[in-house]
Structure 1
Amino acid sequence: MNIEQILAKVYPLSEPSRLTLTKKIVKVSFPKYHRILLADRIEKQIYFIKKGIARTFFLIDGNEITFSFGKEGDTIISMESYIANQKGYENIELLEDCELYKLNIENLQQLFNENIEIANWGRKFAELHLLKAEERLMSRQFGTATERYKELLKNYPHLIQRVQLKHIASYLGVTQVSLSRIRATI
């Protein structure tokens, strides 16, 4: 997925605004298992996934708890750093060799001040991330593990072939044995 397609998924930009924004974006590559964002740091970059899979996780009592997955077209970001310039709480690890687009948050903030269309793109970007976070929270609070697994299959149909089952089990809040039982019933 190219950067123009990824940006358009958030909010349509005119050609001049799109060109202004894309001039600030660079393509980068990182290997599998690279941790692209780390907890307890103010992150200065936003990444858009051109190719590959990433996961967001927290460390709780030495255990990695997977919170979300990102695939082609998705964003890697610490919203705490993006919105409040505060240290983030999440770690983001690449689960495959990845090709990404990188955008410096300070450059983006400057564009927000200079271009209302890009500022509106940024507002829509934050709104979409808020909605995703709310959906994850609601799913965790009120959905069963089986329902969460079905939703994962719906939103990420090829994830099962690309991600270790321990990460999927962690995301669902179940053991690998329970995940095997869920998979057997579907």
Structure 2
Amino acid sequence: MFFPKKATILQQGKTERHLSYVETGIVRLYMPKAGEDLTFGFSFSGSFVSAYDSFLTQTHCPYEIQALTDTVLWQIDYKDLQEVYAHTKIGNEIGRKNAENQFLVKSKRELSLLDKTAEERYLDLFAQRPELIRKIPLKYIASYIGVTPQALSRIRRRIS
């Protein structure tokens, strides 16, 4: 499924019905707030994306998912995925590995927020995906690492 740049993939308050694989593009997960959204995740080409908590529980999602660039997603709905899990060994293995990866990404970010400075978080993010990070607006990167856009500008000046 194609989503143009800035398109909403999942609205706050809706239930996540799909597990998606990002074929191309960049996606962000965020809490819409008056004044400034709070970005807490990105997914890039070659990775899975979902409001996974909403998907697993089939309950309303408290955040949104947005395409930051033109994005192509391959999607499987909840019911079909349950069929794959019930009838295929490889489906179970892929599902388990995706769940493990989702956990590791979340855990790594939480530990980073507790243990690293904003500058270290920025450098880590830049080191992980330098070619893609340049395509993400700085205000979203600032929110993701837990600083204001002005503080991120100071960090970028200091390390350049």
Q: Same fold (TM over 0.5)?
A: yes
Match of 2:26 in 1: 53
Structure 2 distance, partners of 1:68, 1:83, is: 18
Q: Deviations over 1:68-126 (max 9, x none)?
A: 11111122201112322222222111111112211112101111111123112212211
Q: How far is 1:62 from its partner?
A: 5.2
- In the alignment, structure 2 segments of 5+ residues that lack a partner are none
Match of 1:103 in 2: 76
Q: Which amino acid aligns with 1:132?
A: V
Match of 2:122 in 1: 149
Q: Which amino acid aligns with 1:111?
A: V
Indicate if the aligned counterparts of 1:112 and 1:118 stay in contact, CA closer than 8 A.
Answer: yes
Indicate if the aligned counterparts of 2:28 and 2:43 stay in contact, CA closer than 8 A.
Answer: yes
Q: 2:100 aligns with which of 127, 142, 162?
A: 127
Q: Which amino acid aligns with 1:69?
A: F
* Count of equivalent residues: 159
Secondary structure of 2:151's counterpart equals: helix
Q: Which amino acid aligns with 1:177?
A: Q
Match of 1:94 in 2: 67
Structure 1 distance, partners of 2:141, 2:39, is: 8
When the two structures are superposed, what TM-score results if normalisation uses the length of structure 1? Answer: 0.80
Match of 1:35 in 2: 8
Q: 1:176 aligns with which of 143, 149, 154?
A: 149
Question: Which structure is larger by alpha-carbon Rg, 1 or 2?
Answer: 1
CA 183–62 in structure 1, closer or farther in 2 if over 3 Å, else same = closer
**Match runs of 1:2-21 below 5 Å:** none
Match of 2:87 in 1: 114
Q: Which amino acid aligns with 2:118?
A: A
Root mean square deviation, CA, Å: 1.5
Identity over aligned pairs, percent: 33
Indicate if the aligned counterparts of 1:80 and 1:87 stay in contact, CA closer than 8 A.
Answer: no
Match of 1:3 in 2: none
**Match runs of 1:53-72 below 5 Å:** 53-61=26-34, 63-72=36-45
Structure 2 distance, partners of 1:47, 1:94, is: 12
